[in-house]
Amino acid sequence: MILILRPDQPASSTTLAEIEALVREHEGVEMRVHQFEGSRHHLTEVHLVGQTAAVPSDPFALLPGVLQVVRVTTRYRMIGRHASDRRPVGFHYNGVDFGLDHLHVLAGLCAVDTPEHVDRMFAACQESGLETSRMGAYKPRTSPYDFQGLGASCLPWVFESAGRHGVRVVAMEVTDARHVDEIRDALERTGNATGVMLQVGTRNAQNFELLKAVGQQREFPVLFKRGMGITLEESLNAAEYIASEGNPNIVFCLRGVKTHLGDPHRNLVDFAHVPVVLRQTRLPVCVDPSHSVGRGAVAPDGIPDIFHVTGQGIVAGATSVLVDFHPSPAKALCDGPQALLPEDLPRLVAYARTMRAAYEAAVESFQGEPAGL
């Protein structure tokens, strides 16, 4: 059971003591207090765990300091969308709203290589009015002989360039807990020129120690990429690890699954799961068309497959798109074949907005329809 307290209650409010007194009446029930700093309000949730099935919700709902009582199913206690749950989806980070009403394109390099390429990419983002990007400094590669990313050494100039171009959030994969400290240090040294969304890659989707580490800090939100060889349910449970450690600011990213049934695409595009994730959880959903499709093929209608699947994800309700670019794909040290050119970015952004408008029109047309088919 989750008790959502009225916002902005001081820690000394009597509500917690009142809840504690009620909880003491029930053996085998424990309370855990979670505090969240929203963009405008300080929020407190009290989670009752243990034998809660027989605990009535009314006595808690009647307390003046309690705004809402949510009965949770045991699955996805933290990230799940539970019956009667009216809490908003998403979060604000560094001035950017990752709720369901805003579409974000996180366009950038799969792997950071030179300051010139990074500068050109951020400049392209700025010209397209984007405040979000992606940059890989720590690359998990299939072969140990492949380029592993520049690591901590590139962070200062990457963050400085992001700040110079008005980019507020850079999605950056971490493969080890110490990378989070390196990112924090580098950001501080650049006077927090930008912000970082920590990316957990598909290969680490079940690296539980890494999930716990990114969950134990709240400074940075997390872009969690579904495991490419595990079920959606297993991936959602992995995201639950992050939230259960205390960090609810998660974007769930679909990026395709590994099977030859998706050939000639690099992975089988799984964006049909966008509404499933939105229905089962309270997480905003991102799609990654680059790692799903993996190639620059163009359909007979003139539209590249990477654009087509981007549209499919947005039309299904995704609110973020993570996409690879490179000013000179032939020279890219990682994933060149799937990189779009910076000059393609305005067209991708316009296309994404068109698809978002189509989605909004579709939602509008379903208002007032009976739920279910």
Can you give the binding site for ligand PEP, defined by CB under 6 A?
Answer: 110, 136, 173, 201-203, 225, 255, 288, 291
Q: How far is the CB of 263 from ligand PEP (least distance, A)?
A: 17
Q: What residues contact 222, with CB distance under 8 A and at least 6 apart?
A: 197, 198, 199, 200, 214, 215, 242, 247, 249, 250, 251
Among Mn ion, ligand PEP, none, the one that 201 touches (CB under a kind-dependent 5 to 8 A) is: ligand PEP
Q: How are beta strands 66-70 and 132-135 bridged, if at all? A: unpaired
Nearer to Mn ion by C-beta: 160 or 288?
288
Judged by CB, which is closer to ligand PEP: 46, or 110? Answer: 110
Report, in Å, the least distance between residue 335 CB and Mn ion.
4
CB closest to ligand PEP, residue no: 201
The DSSP string of 176-241 is SHHHHHHHHHHHHHTTS-SEEEEEEPGGGTT-HHHHHHHHS--SS-EEEEPPTTS-HHHHHHHHHH
Query: 240 or 305: whose CB is closer to Mn ion?
Result: 305
Please report, as ranges, the residues that interact with Mn ion according to CB under 5 A: 110, 335
Tell the smallest beta-carbon distance from residue 252 to ligand PEP (Å).
12
Choice between 22 and 318, CB closer to ligand PEP? 318
CB of 132 to Mn ion, least distance (A): 17
Binding partner selected for residue 202 from Mn ion, ligand PEP, none, CB under the kind-specific 5 to 8 Å limit = ligand PEP
Give the nearest distance from C-beta 307 to Mn ion in angstroms.
Answer: 18
| 154-to-157, 183, 187, 224 alpha-carbon distances in Å | 6, 10, 12, 23
In angstroms, the CA 25 to CA 298 distance is 65
Q: Which lies closer to Mn ion via its Cβ, residue 290 or residue 319?
A: 290
For the chain, what is the radius of gyration of the CA atoms?
Answer: 21
Q: How far apart are CA 132 and CA 361, in angstroms?
A: 25
